[in-house]
Amino acid sequence: MATIPSPYTFRGGIHPEYNKSLAATAPIRELPLPARLTVPMSQHLGAPAKPVVKVGDTVAGGQLIAEAGGFISAPVHAPAAGKVVAIEETLTAAGRACAAVVIETVPEQVWQPMPTFPEWRFTNAKQLIEHIGAAGIVGMGGAGFPTRVKLSPPSDKPIDTVILNGAECEPYLTSDHRMMLEHAAEIRIGAEIIRHILGARTLRVAIEDNKPDAIAAMEKVFLDMDGDVAVTVLHTSYPQGSEKQQIFSVTGREVPRGGLPMDVGCVVENVSTAFAIFDAVINGRPLVRRVITVTGDAIAQPSNLLAPCGTLYSDLVAACGGIAGKAAKVVSGGPMMGFAVSSLAVPTGKTASGLLLLSPKKTTRFTSQACIACGRCVDACPMRLSPAELSQCIEADDIDGAEQIALMDCIECGSCAFVCPARRPLVHHMRRGKAVVMARRAAAKKTS
């Protein structure tokens, strides 16, 4: 095992104020079990899960409460024992409505474990993939892509390199950082399971150079791993944690436009996802909880909380001492890619990495102006797009024109909006345009 500096630097990117010191030294602590959990059926990319319980049912912790709604989907399990008191619509952090199973928890927790595979080294890949899928594991870095699918590349796209993503480049967030410090050994086992499934000899643990303690922790536990293993120290640059940018930083390979990491022989998995794989394979626990950073200058006690999925943001805030002063803005996630929320009555899910509360002095009101064609967004875009041109197409409702100049390659990182002197709502434009394209594609698929 070696530690190597990143040999490459992706084009574009920005250097925002990171503000990680607020919560970086706060050890993970378990949230007291809330009296009620609102468990969304859309905690992943793809089709919502379909409830298999009904109002009045008693459920055990870890019990299946919703089955996958399609190939790109994931099952959902009860995060705690209790009684199903409602199946109703709730709002996700992105502002979309989805069904949710509401569980009134009970003090006497009964757990329904899944099978375990202590001898996973002698278990075939297909069986492990099926188990990971049944555990409802999805990418926990934000996208929520079902891990079962990612670990099942077609036979004509062999994977030779696994990249363990510990960059956590989003400002303020420190949940992955704390996981690497406190659960490095478990993350290593998860990474070994991933490598075993894919048959990949090469493993890279990618961490930005602003986390020297995490680098040291991962160096220690990966030291005696066989094969081509290294900790790759990345330059601190946003969005270093994005899959395609990280693949280039670590390997020098460029994922083709419209392509996937498997097209260049790589699979990237978040460190928290690796831990979830360990937890499912070794402990028989489905993905029903995660570490969430609650931070910002408007929270009394910035913290990293281990919380069951379905916890309301209001419960997280209460566990951190409440709001300090006035919160002018509340963001689900980080300031670059997160979503502003208007209420704390929003439930967490498998991809909820943070909750950010900002005071008035950390927020600014502004009015967008016309594009001045300065080109800063082009320089900042890590995907080599022309955000200004895309934005103008979308404003003019020329969605076809935007699609032709690679709208769907936008990763919504926010780098363009961050540097725009005219304060153009570029990310909002991209999201709207992409939503229109996806809706058109879905409609065309139904009629074909």
Residue 120 has pLDDT above 90, yes or no: yes
Encoding tokens for residue 157? 């796209």
Task: State which H helix or E strand residue 163 sits in.
Answer: strand 161-165
Cα-Cα end-to-end distance for the chain: 51
Q: Would you state the pLDDT for residue 447?
A: 82
pLDDT tens profile 244-258: 999 999 999 999 988
Cβ distance 164 to 205 under 8 Å? yes
Residue 51 has pLDDT above 80, yes or no: yes
Residue 96 has pLDDT above 90, yes or no: no
pLDDT tens profile 298-314: 999 999 999 999 999 99
Cβ distance 411 to 239 under 8 Å? yes
Q: What is the mean pLDDT of residues 163-191?
A: 97
Residue 141 has pLDDT above 90, yes or no: no
Q: What whole-number percentage of the chain has pLDDT above 90?
A: 92
Max avg pLDDT among 90-94, 142-146, 315-319: 315-319
pLDDT tens profile 66-81: 999 888 899 999 999 9
Encoding tokens for residue 288? 């029903």
> Treating both helix axes as pointing N-terminal to C-terminal, what angle do 184-198 and 212-222 enclose, rounded to 10 degrees?
60
Q: Would you state the pLDDT for residue 6?
A: 94
Residue 193 has pLDDT above 80, yes or no: yes
pLDDT band at 284 (very low <50, low <70, confident <90, very high): very high
Residue 48 has pLDDT above 80, yes or no: yes
Q: Would you state the pLDDT for residue 94?
A: 81
Average pLDDT, the chain: 95
**What sections of 320-397 are H helices per DSSP?**
376-380, 387-395
- How far apart CA 210 and CA 213 sit, in angstroms, is 9
Instruction: Tell me which CATH code domain 2-24+120-283 carries.
Output: 3.40.50.11540
Domain-wise residue ranges, the chain: 2-24+120-283, 376-447
The 10 Å Cβ neighbour count of residue 94 is 14
- How far apart CA 85 and CA 398 sit, in angstroms, is 46
Residue 448 has pLDDT above 80, yes or no: no
DSSP state, residue 347: B
Q: What is the mean pLDDT of residues 249-272?
A: 95
Residue 227 vs residues 119, 145, 165, 205, 220: alpha-carbon distances, Å:
20, 28, 19, 13, 16
Classify the phi-psi angles of 303: left when phi > 0, otherwise alpha if psi is within -120 to 50, otherwise beta. Answer: beta
pLDDT band at 1 (very low <50, low <70, confident <90, very high): confident
Q: Would you state the pLDDT for residue 85?
A: 98
Q: What whole-number percentage of the chain has pLDDT above 70?
A: 100
Burial 185-198 (b: 16+ CB within 10 A, else e): ebbbbbbbbbbbbb
pLDDT band at 46 (very low <50, low <70, confident <90, very high): confident
Q: Would you state the pLDDT for residue 410?
A: 96
The 10 Å Cβ neighbour count of residue 350 is 24
Task: State which H helix or E strand residue 248 sits in.
Answer: helix 243-251
Q: What is the mean pLDDT of residues 145-157?
A: 94
Cβ distance 334 to 306 under 8 Å? no
